[in-house]
């Protein structure tokens, strides 16, 4: 018997939620075939089969929160099949006429299959059951989505590990489930009818009318659409089988697809009163993602001696260079020339001169990084994520732009892996895309520095004794004063400014 355990998920991640099982007990699996999907704070992790054989049992059901190296399932080698179970059904498992052949008998279709919380990754030990898409008595197909869990930073879909009838729901919506916890029970195949005959007969016509495949939108998405008066046709679903998820609704709202408010609300406004205020208030529990963001930002403020220094940069040279070569650049490299490659290059140049900003504190030691893994903060409908451009100091402008573009698409679609967000040594945050003129970014621990970019705005500047209009941008460097002195921080920011105002300095390493 080979154990399937939770893989190492990355720095500071100690737990994960089992989102989906793609196999059920009794199924044959090949080496490296995907068994299940875990969700950590920010990413989805696929768990492959370590050996070929038969999935004997599932220890951690969908929705369960599991710790690092926790047992997920067991695989029997070769043709060895799992032993059948009849737990929680109230009836005994079918007995073989030939007792000597009992162990080699494949799983009976009527055996119950537990739906367990999937492995979620390091530091993630629990999850919240957000939505059930099936009810007790409903017929389910293998891999059909049963429910949705919420961990610190991501939503995890839990698929059915086997076809059958959902006979029990053990974790209701809103409940918190631990790693390896049991979510529900599915009675397989022909035995399903005995488990819940009345509800199965009622659910069967509905299943047939849908063509045998449930593509119901996530209840959280339905609620969001109803609250914001958004038509289902105005939202593009990115979930399994085109289901609309709550992130899709958030994107539709951001794109301005919200429908007009109800006429009644416009024509009959209420007079303000405390009772009316209470009636119009809505209390919504923070998502795990938002809770994690809040906790970590506060931890950063409490731990680091954070200080911010500011400067401004004349973007004329960068904009002229970009306008001159952007068509040729895109034609040759297949990607647009943006500002991020210039800022990334300028920061790598400055970090080389002021290595303290690229270091981190580990206890009583200072760890200096002789490389630059550049974190690029990206806002998504579900929250802030920071994918990492690895070895950015050794990349060309084209390589940086291609990598940032790829990571941006993955972040938007919620497909960033744990590896995409690990190991950053410095971060760039561009609040200018949202119109921010000035801000003080918060450090991304354990990093010691973060650069804040802002809106480019024409301002009157004195150049060579004359007042001229120039495209200016404020820059902000937040740094950990425990390791970076004021002189080093100012020097870093000045070097970034100089490289952007005269990009030729990057070519000459000046």
Q: Considering only residues 5 and 241, tell me which one the structure prediction assigns the higher pLDDT.
A: 5
CB 31 within 8 A of CB 52: yes
How far is it between the farthest Cα atoms of the chain? 102
Choosing from 248, 480, 485, 509, the catalytic residue is: 485
CA–CA separation, 305 and 374 (whole Å): 22
- For every residue of 448-466, DSSP letters joined together read SEEEEE---EEEEEEETTE
Choosing from 138, 481, 502, 509, the catalytic residue is: 481
Query: For 457-477, what is the mean pLDDT?
Result: 93
Reference 123, options 7, 14, 40; nearest CA is 14
Select, from the ranges 206-215, 224-233, 319-328, the one with the highest average predicted confidence (pLDDT): 319-328
Phi, psi of 100 (to 5 degrees): -70, -20
Query: For 385-405, what is the mean pLDDT?
Result: 91
CA–CA separation, 164 and 117 (whole Å): 19
Q: What is the mean pLDDT of the chain?
A: 79
Ordered structural domains, the chain, with CATH: 2-89+106-207 (2.40.50.100), 222-254 (4.10.320), 305-508 (3.30.559.10)
Instruction: Retrieve residue 501's tokens.
Output: 């105002």
User: Regarding beta strands 360-362 and 383-385, do their DSSP bridges make them parallel or antiparallel, or are they unpaired?
Assistant: unpaired
Q: Considering only residues 347 and 274, tell me which one the structure prediction assigns the higher pLDDT.
A: 347
Specify the 3-state DSSP secondary structure of 361. Answer: strand
Q: Is the model's pLDDT at 222 over the cut of 80?
A: no
Residues 6+ apart with CB under 8 A from 508: none
CA–CA separation, 343 and 355 (whole Å): 17
Q: Is the model's pLDDT at 418 over the cut of 70?
A: yes
Instruction: Retrieve residue 494's tokens.
Output: 């000045």
Instruction: Retrieve residue 36's tokens.
Output: 């299940």
Distance of CA 34 to the CA centre of its chain: 19
For residue 5, how many other CB atoms are within 10 A of its CB?
18
Answer yes or no: 485 catalytic.
Answer: yes
pLDDT in tens, 128-142: 888 888 888 888 888
Question: What is the predicted pLDDT for the residue at 192?
Answer: 43
Answer yes or no: 362 catalytic.
Answer: no
Residues 6+ apart with CB under 8 A from 87: 112, 114, 185
Name the pLDDT band for 342 (thresholds 50, 70, 90). Answer: very high
CA–CA separation, 475 and 262 (whole Å): 44
Alpha-helical (H) ranges within 238-385 are: 246-254, 263-267, 274-280, 288-303, 316-333, 340-353
pLDDT in tens, 46-65: 888 888 888 889 998 888 88
- For every residue of 402-451, DSSP letters joined together read HHHHHHHHHHHTT---TGGGS--SEEEEEGGGGT-S---PPP-TT-SEEE
């Amino acid at each position: 018997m080979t154990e399937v355990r939770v893989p190492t998920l990355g720095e500071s991640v100690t737990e994960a939620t089992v989102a989906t099982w793609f196999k059920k007990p009794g199924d044959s699996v090949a080496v490296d075939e995907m068994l299940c999907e875990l969700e950590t704070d920010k990413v989805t992790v696929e768990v492959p089969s370590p050996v070929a054989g038969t999935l004997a049992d599932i220890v951690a059901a969908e929705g369960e929160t599991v710790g690092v190296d926790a047992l997920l399932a067991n695989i029997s080698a070769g043709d060895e099949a799992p032993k059948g179970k009849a737990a929680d059904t109230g009836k005994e498992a079918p007995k073989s006429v030939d007792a000597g052949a009992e162990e080699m008998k494949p799983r009976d279709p009527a055996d119950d299959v537990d739906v367990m919380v999937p492995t979620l990754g390091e530091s993630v030990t629990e999850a919240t059951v957000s939505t059930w898409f099936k009810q007790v008595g409903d017929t389910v197909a293998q891999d059909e989505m049963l429910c949705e869990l919420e961990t610190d930073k991501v939503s995890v879909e839990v698929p059915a590990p086997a076809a059958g009838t959902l006979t029990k729901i053990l974790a209701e919506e809103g409940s918190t489930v631990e790693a390896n916890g049991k979510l529900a029970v599915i009675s397989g195949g022909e035995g399903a009818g005995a488990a819940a005959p009345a509800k199965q007969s009622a659910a069967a016509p509905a299943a047939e009318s849908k063509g045998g495949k449930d593509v119901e939108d996530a209840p959280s998405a339905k609620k969001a659409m109803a609250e914001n008066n958004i038509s289902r046709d105005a939202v593009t679903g990115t979930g399994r089988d085109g289901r609309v998820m709550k992130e899709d609704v958030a994107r539709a709202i951001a794109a301005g697809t919200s429908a007009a408010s109800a006429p009644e609300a416009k024509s009959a406004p209420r007079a303000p009163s405390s009772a009316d205020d209470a009636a119009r208030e809505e209390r919504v529990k923070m998502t795990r993602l938002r809770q994690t963001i809040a906790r970590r930002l506060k931890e950063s403020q409490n731990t680091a001696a954070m200080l911010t220094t500011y400067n401004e940069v004349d973007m004329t040279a960068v904009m002229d260079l970009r306008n001159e070569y952007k068509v040729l650049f895109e034609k040759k490299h297949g990607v647009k020339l943006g500002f991020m490659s210039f800022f990334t290059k300028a920061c790598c140049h400055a970090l080389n001169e002021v290595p303290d900003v690229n270091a981190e504190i580990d206890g009583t030691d200072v760890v200096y990084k002789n490389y630059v893994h550049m974190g690029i903060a990206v806002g998504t409908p579900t929250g802030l994520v920071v994918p990492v451009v690895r070895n950015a100091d050794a990349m060309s402008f084209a390589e940086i732009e291609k990598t940032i573009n790829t990571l941006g698409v993955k972040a938007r679609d919620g497909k960033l892996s744990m590896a995409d967000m690990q190991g950053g040594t410095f971060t760039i945050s561009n609040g200018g895309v949202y119109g921010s003129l000035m801000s003080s970014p918060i450090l991304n621990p354990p990093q010691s520095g973060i650069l804040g970019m802002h809106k480019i705005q024409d301002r009157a500047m004195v150049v060579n004794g004359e007042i001229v209009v120039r495209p200016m941008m404020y820059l902000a460097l937040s740094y950990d004063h425990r390791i970076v002195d004021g002189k080093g921080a100012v020097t870093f920011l000045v070097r970034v400014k100089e490289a952007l105002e005269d990009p030729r300095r990057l070519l000459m390493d000046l």
